[in-house]
Structure 1
Amino acid sequence: MSTATQERFAAALTDRESPVPEGLTSWTAPRPERRFGVYRNNVRVGLTGALASRFPATERIVGADFFAAMAGEYVAADPPRSPLLLTYGDGFADFVAGFEPVAGLPYLPDVIRLEAARSRAYHATDAAPLVPERLAAIPPERLGDIRLQPHPSTAVLRSPHPVVTIWAMNAEGGTPHTVETWIGEDALVVRPAMLVEVHRLPPGGATFLSALAEGEPLGMAATLAMAETEQFDLTRNLAGLLTTGAFTAILPEDDHDA
C-alpha cells in the first residue's frame, strides 16, 4: 500500500461520510464498501471505548449513550496520532468546551482535565516523596531560599467550578448529589505510591504549589500565595506539601547536606 493510499485510508477511518479510499481493494471486491465500513466502525468503537475508560466520571455525568456520541464526534475531529492510546484524549476537554450540546454543563471540561491529569499521574515515573525530616533539618533562616523537586506525577488544576466535588461524586464509589455551595475548587493530583490521589487545595494552595513546581524558592512561593489571598496559611500548606507527596527532593541537594 502506497503512502498516499495509507493517508487516504487513515483519513477515511474517522469520517463516516467518506467513501472507500481510492486504491483500496480486497479479494472479494474492487471497492469493498461493506468490509471497510465494518472496519471503520470497529475503529470508532475502540477509540470511544478508550475515551470512556480514561474519562469514567465524565461518562457518568452525561450518560453512556451521550458520551459515546460526543466521543465519536471528537474521534472524527481529532483522531489519534500515535499507536499508544494512553494519552489519547488530551485535547478532549478543549473540544468539549466548544461542543454546543453540553453548553449547559460549563464545569464538564474541567472534570475532563482532572481525569486526564489522573491518568497521566497513573503512568508517571515512580519516585519516593520527600520525607518530613529532610525539610525539618533545614535551618529556619534558610527555609525561604530552598527549592523543591516536584514529583513526576504532580499536577495542579484550577477551576471556577467545584471540580473536585463533582468529580468525586461521579467517580467509582461516589454518589451524585446536589452541590449546595457552588464555589471554585483547586485540585492537586499526585501518585506518591500505588494509587493516584486527588486533593482539594486550601486557599492559595494552587499558587503556592504551582510556584514551587516551577522552581520558585519557598519564600517567593509563599509571597505569591499571600498576595493572592489573605486566607493563605503557610503552616497548613507546608503540612500538605509533605503529607501529599507532591515533592521528592530539596534542590540543590548538596546545599543542604549535613
Structure 2
Amino acid sequence: MQAGFAASLLAPDLPVPAGVVGPRGKKAGKRFAVYRNNVAVGLAGALGDIFPVVRKLVGDGFFRAMALVYVAQEPPGSPLMFEYGQGFAAFLEDFEPVSQLLYLPDVARLERAWLDAFHAADVEPLDPGALGRVAPEALAELTFTVHPATRIIDSDFAIVSIFSASREDQDISGIRPRQAQSALVTRPGDWVEVRGLPPGASTLFKALIAGVRLGEAAGDALAAHPQFDLPAALAAMLEAGVFIRCAARAPAGSLSA
C-alpha cells in the first residue's frame, strides 16, 4: 500500500491508491489531488533552492513548470532533500525548451557541485607549507589525497562567470557564454569557494586527484599547455584547500601532513 501511495503521488495519470478514502468512505479523488499537488510543488520548490542560478536564468515561472516535469520523471531517492537533483543537469541536456541555452546543463553541474561541497565532510586542508618541508629531489614523487569538498567542472562555456555574476545579482549580458572555463569548487574554511582555473590547472589537479605523481601530472599539464604556470598553480592549490594530505614515495622524503 505504501509503495502504491508513493507512486501515485508523483504520477497524475495513476488512480487514487486502493484503500485511500474520504470521510465516511467517500471517494478521495479531490483530496488526494490536493496532496499530490502539494508534494509536486514542494519538490519543485526544493529544486529551485538547489539550483538558484538556473532558476534565475530561465525565470521563476518557467523554472517551476520545468521542475514539475523533472519531478515527475525523477522522484527523490533519498529522504535528504539536499541530495535531490543529481540528474537535473542531464535532464536539461534533453529538455528541448532550453536547448538554445547550451551552457545551462554545465551551470547546473556547477551548482550541484557547490551544494555537494557544502555538505562534504569537515577535514582540515593540507598545510600550505607542506611542500616546503619535502626534500627537493622527492617533490616529483609526491601523491595527494583530495579534500572531500573538492570538485572540478570543465565546460565549453563561461560557467564560472555566469555562476558568479548570477549569484551576485550582476548583469550577465556582457558575458561571452562560449568562452570555455574550468571551475574549481573547494571549501577550505566554513564556506564554499568557486574559482576559475587557468589553462593547465584543471589537467594538473584532476591528475593529482586520480593519484598521479606530481612530476608526471605536471609534465602532462605542461605538455598540453606550454605556458602553464606550475608554481602559481601549486600555490593556488594549497591556498584553496584542494587536498588534505601528501606523501612522497621516496623514503627519505616521505611526508604526511
Q: TM-score, normalised by structure 1?
A: 0.93
Aligned equivalent of 1:237: 233
Aligned equivalent of 2:255: 256
Question: Tell me, what secondary structure is at the counterpart of 2:34?
Answer: helix
Greater CA drift, 127-136 or 198-207: 127-136
Aligned equivalent of 1:165: 161
Once residues 111 and 251 of structure 1 are traced to their aligned partners in structure 2, the CA distance between those partners, rounded to angstroms, is 34
Map 1:43-58; keep pairs closer than 5 Å.
43-58=39-54
Is the Cα contact below 8 Å between 1:20 and 1:31 reproduced in 2? no
C-alpha RMSD of the superposition: 1.8
Aligned-pair distance for 1:29?
Answer: 3.8
User: Is 1:73 the equivalent of 2:73?
Assistant: no
Runs of 4+ deviating beyond 4 Å: none
Once residues 122 and 236 of structure 2 are traced to their aligned partners in structure 1, the CA distance between those partners, rounded to angstroms, is 20
Aligned-pair distance for 1:248?
Answer: 1.3
Once residues 92 and 255 of structure 2 are traced to their aligned partners in structure 1, the CA distance between those partners, rounded to angstroms, is 47
Aligned equivalent of 2:191: 195
1:129 to 125, 130, 142: 125
Once residues 86 and 257 of structure 1 are traced to their aligned partners in structure 2, the CA distance between those partners, rounded to angstroms, is 34
Once residues 24 and 229 of structure 2 are traced to their aligned partners in structure 1, the CA distance between those partners, rounded to angstroms, is 72
CA 1:257–1:183: 2 relative to 1, 3 Å? closer
1:141 to 112, 120, 137: 137
Runs (5+) with no aligned partner, structure 2? none
Greater CA drift, 166-175 or 128-137: 166-175
Q: TM-score, normalised by structure 2?
A: 0.93
CA 1:29–1:106: 2 relative to 1, 3 Å? farther
Map 1:25-64; keep pairs closer than 5 Å.
25-64=21-60
2:50 is aligned with what amino acid? R
Q: How many residues align?
A: 254
Aligned-pair distance for 1:6?
Answer: 1.8
Runs (5+) with no aligned partner, structure 1? none
Is the Cα contact below 8 Å between 1:151 and 1:245 reproduced in 2? yes
Aligned equivalent of 2:243: 247
2:112 is aligned with what amino acid? A
User: Is 1:151 the equivalent of 2:147?
Assistant: yes
Once residues 127 and 63 of structure 1 are traced to their aligned partners in structure 2, the CA distance between those partners, rounded to angstroms, is 37
Once residues 26 and 70 of structure 1 are traced to their aligned partners in structure 2, the CA distance between those partners, rounded to angstroms, is 32
Aligned-pair distance for 1:170?
Answer: 1.1
1:220 to 202, 216, 221: 216
Aligned-pair distance for 1:249?
Answer: 1.4
Instruction: String of CA shifts for 1:223-246, please: whole Å, max 9, x gaps.
Output: 221232223221121111111111
Aligned-pair distance for 1:131?
Answer: 1.6
Question: Tell me, what secondary structure is at the counterpart of 1:7?
Answer: helix
Aligned-pair distance for 1:48?
Answer: 0.7
Greater CA drift, 225-234 or 236-245: 225-234
Is the Cα contact below 8 Å between 1:204 and 1:225 reproduced in 2? yes
Instruction: String of CA shifts for 1:131-181, please: whole Å, max 9, x gaps.
Output: 222111111111010111111100000001111011111114433332147
Aligned equivalent of 1:103: 99
Once residues 176 and 105 of structure 2 are traced to their aligned partners in structure 1, the CA distance between those partners, rounded to angstroms, is 21
Aligned equivalent of 2:109: 113
Aligned equivalent of 1:204: 200
